[in-house]
Structure 1
Amino acid sequence: MNIVVLVKQVPDTEAERELSSVDNTVDRESVDSVINYIDEFAIEEGLRLKEEHDGEVTILTVGPEQATESIRKALSMGADKAIHVSDEALHGSCAIQTAKVIAKALGTVEWDVAIAGSEATDSRAAIVPALVAEVLGVPQLSLARKVTVDGSTVTIERVTDTGYETVEGSTPAIISVVEKINDPRYPSFKGIMAAKSKKIESLDLDDLGLSADEVGLANATTVVESFENAPPRAAGQVVKDEGDGGTKIADYLSSKKLV
């Protein structure tokens, strides 16, 4: 079974993230970058499917050169190899453009299922897996809390507000997972050392048969027109209770039109 896991490197969610004043895109140089949190669950699910059905796990990343750091971590968890799509022209690409690039990259390998996290912490769009499935014309099995593969049939339990739905599709299929699906393993020392010698194939737009005018900020379908930083938090108002504390609080809430 050939499994591809889509991994994105994002700015550390624990750090203060900012937009660049130059082009209104995320400033990725000002903070450390890490594997997108939910993608670690996708990696773990890919490894579990490999252990159950044999085969191999390929990590697929679209991002700048520094994304190699996250690829190595994914490989140290147990993935077999990786594909890194990197091209300066990709900077500022929107979700639709990114999905086209991923779809082209998937066309360079044999795969049965491609697994992704349900959303990225830097955009919260949660649409790329669905867009990739649409571009390729393959089943989309989203928000999975459980994945079962039997031959060419993939069945998931999809999380809903009231429980879950059972959804079935045939391979090749795109699967997105939620964090309830498993507990990601930690890279072992042996895995970290082994990852140093695992193959990372580098691809650019030419390799994928794409041109610069199909991607990038200048051709994106969505852009940030302007932004401003949130004002510093104002000091709170202290209410001293002298027997009329409740009235003072009610008056304050009323002044803010909260009651």
Structure 2
Amino acid sequence: MSLQDQIDKNKLPNHLAVIMDGNGRWAKQKGLFRNKGHEKGAKTVKAIVEACAEIDIPFLTLYAFSTENWNRPKLEIDLLMRLLVSSLKKELKTLQKNNIKLNVIGNIDSLPKKTIKELLDVIEKTKSNSRMTLTLALSYGSREEIIKTIKEISLKVKNNLISPENIDESVINSHLYTQNLPDVDLLIRTSGEQRISNFLLWQIAYAELYFTDILWPDYTKDNLFEAILNYQNRERRFGKTSDQLK
């Protein structure tokens, strides 16, 4: 029986998030320039998105470019932006074929105008798709998101639009970039690093964390299915005891 066939469709993570790490190290190990790692990583993205659609995961969020990534060399940033634009153009047919809706979170205004234009174009063309929502986290940083949220809520309090006593989780959720997404159930990080790197800090409060040594360009559908099977064998208690769940 294949790994995919072993997956229980009734116990899938509703929202899967992935920190795609290891493109640069993959290229270095093979004596290649970093751009080759990013190009191979883009192919992995396509395979994993299709795999998630195949098993009917409703929400998939990929950490594509962080606020900290702006500190990388300009040549690499320019390459990543060009690769993003070309990938969006190339994969629009795949998104439509698989009934996948594209979504973006992050400080989008900081992206190059050409990148923004292509993103908005694909978002518009896929807005009616309903099989899965694919969210790209671009120029995204969770601390920046939380600061933005606090400022917006504070301004509403100042203008008497919100009472401080009424601020709860739902109010905070409604001001986050992820306001239209459910909390994360499973977070996967590749490349052996075991840290969150400023990704969805609020949204992963009760997520299951899964770390693998595999570099992102080498990550396969079966690796994804292994992570999901591992997730399905965990007991998610949300603060309760095992006896309460039974």
TM-score, scaled relative to structure 1: 0.30
- Structure index of larger Rg: 1
Q: Which has the higher contact order (CA 8 A, sep 6+)?
A: 2
Structure with more helix by fraction = 2
